[in-house]
Amino acid sequence: MNVFFLWAALFAGSGIAQSVSAQSSKSTTDAVARYDAYVQQAVRDWRVPGLTVTVVKDGRVLLKKGYGVRELGKPDPVNTQTLFAIASTTKAMTAACLGMLVDEGKLHWDDPVSNYLPDFQLYDAAVTRELRVRDLLIHNTGVGNADFLWTTLQLTPDEILRRMRLIRPVYSLRAGFIYQNIMYLAAGKVIEKAAGMPWETFVRRRIFEPLGMRRTRALFREVTDENRAKPHVISNDTLRIVGSRAEEASVDAIGPAGSVWSCADDLAIWMQCMLDTARVVGGKPLLKPATWAELFRPQTLVPASQFYPTQQLTQPSWTTYGLGWFQQDYRGHRVNFHTGSLTGMIALHGQLPDQKLAVYVQGNLDHAELRHALMFRAFDDFALGSSRDWSAEFRKLYDDLHQSARMTDQRTSNLRVADAKPSLPLTAYTGTYTDPLYGRVDVTLQDSTLQISINNVLTGKLTHWHFNTFRLVYDQFWNGHDSVGFSLNAEGSLVRLSWAGAEFTRTPEAGTKGVAER
């Protein structure tokens, strides 16, 4: 080939490459526009006041956008700087912090937890002895849900961990899976012991600062910026704001499990880091490649009963948990993801790792499950090529689940025995009821109505249901209602109060003893 034809061939090849590149760029632009429109419709359909969605692929940010408002009834828009609670998607950060200490030789994944927390005890001494650092991250310790320790008790982190010794296991160590936030608090304490600084300081210095996540805060009490989302719930089909700052602040007690607040601008950097072997700006890694890979290696099986209702539609062949990540298969690809849920706030961080694709959703409506729809739709739009309407399908799925719950509630209501009076005068039910694990309940009588205070955190009114069962309607409306039962001894005196599966013993010195009328 002479020089003329060589140059012609090179020029033609360059033209083809430019054409392919232009077509690829247009295709991506079109996909972003379609996805953006899809998000806007989903926000309307799910009645979410405010939302951010961030999509990254192949090291580039394809979409980073705010939708709606920070607070219902106010004009302030959500933008990419708006802070949201990222809730349990914090767990991936805590796992990464432990990985950094593994890289430095300051701990090992399979070290006994007692090496770092000698005073930490579970109900079973054998489990305490065998518990490993890895176990703190994968929900397999045998301890059931213990969130009441931070949601209904005003306890310090140290006191929360101390009370774990009082909780009976529901299965043997490593013999099952029940989602467990408190163990991530223990993991944070391991970080503090090994690193010589509190978890909130470590995560700031070792993740937020190196990545340039300047607006991200480790704890809610550090969030003072006005550009933050406010939490909302749908109560009796009405969208309402949750006005209690104390409700938002409660998660600080278990910070390593879910207290981080961040924005789309910052999370885009974190997403890219976690997709690309934990590399940060300049190619410097946060973690060694083997440690980064360990975070995403399946660690334990998740049974269907403990997975998300979305499985009814996505139909995964397997469901597992890594170190701070749920996992499943989707259309022949592995998905790493984690949701975050606090009262009035939601988040989701999802990855399609073999496609170098990730999506982060943040919202200010309680359990707004459009987050799952936006994750799977992003996978389809930007990698796998499908137009399945996940938003419509998941909305029907969750509407059906809510309807089923309402029917169950109605069936319970139908069991009410009409005209069945309480055994004692209302004054007899007043008093103080206590339990070493669950704390204190005070029942008082005001204006002929029983009032209840649970650990000075939850309050409400008790109305008689039937016999010695009362219906509790919470002052904190987002909690709905519960049943409260009272138990009498053989002499007809009140001895116990039951609430939400917990039993409290009446203190002898409190209240007026009552004897059943004959």
**Would you state the structure tokens that stand for residue 397, as one six-digit string?**
């799925």
Q: Residue 393, class by beta-carbon neighbours within 10 Å (0-12 exposed, 13-18 middle, 19+ buried)?
A: middle
Is residue 12 situated within a structural domain?
A: no
Q: What is the CATH number of the domain that holds 501?
A: 2.40.128.600
Tens of pLDDT, residues 159-174:
999 999 999 999 999 9
Tokens 């033209």, located at residue: 15
Cα–Cα distance measured from residue 427 to residue 447, given in angstroms and rounded to the nearest whole number: 11
374 is a domain residue = yes
Please report the pLDDT score of residue 412 as a whole number: 87
In a domain, 416, yes or no: no
On whether residue 268 sits in a domain, the answer given is yes
- Please state the pTM of the whole predicted model: 0.92
> Residue 250 above 80 pLDDT?
yes
Q: What is the pLDDT of residue 280?
A: 82
Domain identity same for 448 and 369: no
Residue 24 has a pLDDT of: 66
Write phi, then psi, for 408 (nearest 5 degrees): -60, -45
Question: Do 291 and 374 fall into the same domain?
Answer: yes
How far is it, in rounded angstroms, from Cα 88 to Cα 468? Answer: 39
The pLDDT-based confidence of 518 (bands split at 50, 70, 90) is very low
What is the pLDDT, as a whole number, of residue 248? 82
Residues 6+ apart with CB under 8 A from 40: 67
Residue-wise pLDDT tens digits, 23-67: 667 788 899 999 999 999 999 999 999 999 999 999 999 999 999
CA angle (316, 295, 145) in 5-degree steps:
70
Asked if 212 and 285 sit in the same domain, the reply is yes
Tokens coding 107: 């701990």
Query: Looking at the domain assignment, is residue 19 inside a domain?
Result: no
Q: Tokens in use for 131? A: 């518990």
pLDDT tier at 428, thresholds 50, 70, 90: very high
- Distance CA(387)–CA(389), nearest Å, equals 6
Domains identified in the chain, total number: 2
Find where tokens 């799910």 sit.
46
Q: Kindly state the helix (H) or strand (E) to which residue 261 belongs, with its residue range.
A: strand 261-262
Pair (133, 216) in one structural domain: yes
Are 177 and 290 members of one domain? yes
The CATH number for 330's domain is: 3.40.710.10
Q: What is the pLDDT of residues 380-414, one digit of tens each?
A: 999 999 999 999 999 999 999 999 999 998 998 89
Instruction: Name the β-bridge partners of 167.
Output: none
235 shares a domain with 116? yes
Q: How far is the C-alpha of 454 from the C-alpha of 426, rounded, in Å?
A: 18
Instruction: In whole angstroms, give the CA distance from residue 239 to residue 427.
Output: 37
| Mean per-residue pLDDT, 182-196 | 98
DSSP 271-324: HHHHHTTTB-GGG-BSS-HHHHHHHHS--EE--GGGS-TTHHHH--S-EEE-SS
Residues 385 and 442 in one domain: no
What is the DSSP code (8-state) at residue 193?
H
CA torsion sign for 151, 155, 160, 163 is negative
Reference 460, options 486, 494, 483; nearest CA is 483
Measured at the CA of 407, the angle between CA 402 and CA 413, to 5 degrees, comes to 130
Is there a single domain that holds both residue 434 and residue 385?
Answer: no
Are residues 348 and 55 in contact, defined by beta-carbon separation less than 8 angstroms?
no
Domain endpoint, select from 392, 414, 439: 392
Q: How far apart are CA 280 and CA 416, in angstroms?
A: 61
What is the rounded distance in angstroms from the CA atom of residue 260 to the CA atom of residue 199?
11
Range of the domain at 480: 426-506
Residue 6 has pLDDT above 80, yes or no: no
Q: Is position 415 within any domain?
A: no
Q: What is the dihedral of CA 23, 26, 31, 33, to 10 degrees?
A: -170
Residues 110-156: pLDDT tens digits? Answer: 999 999 999 999 999 999 999 999 999 999 999 999 999 999 998 99
The distance of Cα 345 from the centroid of its chain, to the nearest Å, equals: 9
For 318-348, write each residue's pLDDT tens digit: 999 999 999 999 999 999 999 999 999 999 9
Mean pLDDT of 6-20: 46
Is residue 512 in some structural domain? no
Q: Is 135 exposed, middle or buried (0-12, 13-18, 19+ CB in 10 A)?
A: buried
On whether both 152 and 41 belong to a single domain, the answer is yes
First-to-last C-alpha distance (Å) of the chain: 114
In a domain, residue 9? The reply is: no
Instruction: Render pLDDT for 251-286 as a digit per residue (tens, 0 to 9).
Output: 999 999 999 999 999 999 999 999 998 888 677 899
Q: From CA 208, how far away is CA 202, in angstroms rounded?
A: 9
Is 73 in the same domain as 145?
yes
Please indicate, yes or no, whether residues 38 and 123 belong to a single structural domain of this protein.
yes
Both 256 and 388 in a single domain? yes
Q: Which helix (H) or strand (E) holds 183?
A: helix 182-195
